């Protein structure tokens, strides 16, 4: 972009009223644009147009049309009043200036505000709706034995990390169509390596099960650090792509190991082991996908979500060790 380039963003609104949810969306967009550009103005109407530039900006639409001799059929002094537009714009800008939540690539909070605004049309509370969806799933997870609970947390972590990596790649490159297939492919390859090849090289004991849970937690911390440095890195495209491939393969290996180990640690019938272990994994993956994509990333940001996943795995690893000690005490 050149210094005089202009960016325009439109948000649906009412020209004479901003509700709580609508104000949060518009205020965050306005504050974020002000952080990047020297000049930001709002042209209110059925849609609020946010116009930003490092160059000069004007509210005088009709004056600019006449100055540039642009031929129009309807947009003229009989249709628009420049002074009225400027007055309403200043009022709107004053209202929006009080809110300073910044929307960033790694913390897209405007998505959360926009979802809350959309749901306000149906008189639905965002948090109540999420609770109603997740309550039966989370309630079911509390009935799991501690081995299947480890699988549940592993499924949650793997699903969350997949979402994080896909969104992070989209942020860095601006597209995910091709990379999404690659990410899923290498995740599945990691599952194969962990569940078939590496499982025969570790001790089939509960202590190992706990250690892998800790390794997933350590991985999540490393993921946060890698993404933090990648977003401001000057590395080439090939190197960054390879880092993403390594990251998704490693979490696939750890997930495959934990799944296979959980299956071997159970002592009931094969059919019961297969069904309960797979169900626990899918349950965790479902919770992870919806929570991370719809709530955690917009609210906490990608880096903090990675740390939340790490903490959850550390707690689960400790929980498994405590249950092991209780069993043999």
Alpha carbon distance 133, 312 (integer Å)? 21
pLDDT value at residue 158: 96
The verdict on domain 126-328 having CATH code 1.20.1250 is yes
Cα–Cα distances in Å, from 227 out to 108, 200, 274, 288, 325? 15, 32, 35, 19, 37
Residues 284 and 152 sit within 8 Å (Cβ to Cβ): yes
pLDDT reading at 15 higher than 60: no
For the chain, the residue count is: 329
Distance CA 66, CA 241 (A): 51
pLDDT tens-digit series, residues 159-192 = 999 999 999 999 888 888 888 889 999 999 999 9
Whether the pLDDT of residue 154 is over 90: the answer is yes
Distance between CA atoms of residues 285 and 81, nearest Å: 55
Looking at residue 140, what is its pLDDT? 67
Mean pLDDT of all residues belonging to the chain: 86
Q: Percent of the chain beyond pLDDT 90? A: 40
Summarize pLDDT for 198-244 with one digit per residue, the tens: 988 898 888 999 999 999 999 999 999 999 888 777 778 888 899 99
Specify the pLDDT at position 138. Answer: 67
How is the chain split into domains, by residue range? 6-103, 126-328
| 50 vs 236, residue with greater confidence | 50
Whether residue 141 is predicted with pLDDT greater than 70 in this model: the reply is no
pLDDT range class, residue 126, cuts 50, 70, 90 = low
What pLDDT shows up at residue 16? Answer: 59
**Each residue's pLDDT tens digit, 22-43:** 888 889 999 999 999 999 999 8
Q: pLDDT band for position 255 (50/70/90)?
A: very high
Indicate yes or no: pTM above 0.85.
no
Which of 130-134, 283-287, 298-302 has the least mean pLDDT? 130-134
């Amino acid at each position: 972009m050149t210094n005089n380039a202009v960016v325009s963003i439109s948000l649906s609104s009412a020209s004479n009223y901003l509700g709580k949810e609508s104000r949060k969306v518009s205020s965050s967009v306005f504050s974020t644009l002000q952080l990047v550009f020297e000049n930001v103005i709002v042209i209110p109407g059925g849609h609020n147009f946010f116009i930003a530039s490092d160059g000069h900006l004007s509210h005088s639409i009709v004056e600019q049309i006449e100055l540039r001799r642009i031929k129009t059929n309807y947009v003229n002094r009989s249709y628009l009043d420049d002074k009225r537009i400027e007055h309403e714009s200043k009022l709107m800008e004053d209202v929006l200036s009080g809110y300073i939540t910044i929307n960033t690539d790694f913390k897209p909070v405007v998505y959360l505000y926009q979802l809350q605004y959309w749901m306000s049309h149906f008189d639905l509370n965002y948090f109540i709706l999420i609770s109603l969806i997740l309550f039966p799933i989370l309630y079911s997870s509390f009935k799991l034995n501690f081995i299947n609970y480890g699988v549940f947390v592993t499924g949650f972590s793997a699903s969350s990390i997949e979402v994080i990596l896909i969104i992070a790649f989209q942020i860095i490159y601006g597209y995910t169509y091709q990379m999404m297939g690659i990410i899923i492919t290498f995740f599945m390859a990691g599952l194969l390596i962990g569940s078939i090849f590496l499982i025969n090289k570790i001790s089939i004991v509960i202590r190992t099960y706990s250690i892998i849970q800790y390794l997933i937690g350590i991985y999540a911390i490393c993921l946060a650090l890698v993404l933090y440095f990648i977003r401001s890195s000057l590395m080439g495209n090939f190197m960054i792509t390879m880092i993403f491939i390594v990251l998704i393969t490693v979490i696939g290996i750890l997930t495959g190991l934990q799944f296979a180990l959980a299956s071997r640690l159970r002592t009931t019938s094969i059919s019961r082991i297969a069904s309960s272990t797979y169900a626990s994994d899918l349950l965790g993956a479902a919770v992870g996908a919806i929570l991370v994509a719809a709530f955690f990333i917009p609210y906490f940001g990608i880096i903090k979500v990675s740390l939340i996943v790490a903490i959850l795995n550390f707690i689960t690893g400790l929980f498994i060790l405590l249950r092991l000690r209780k069993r043999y005490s």
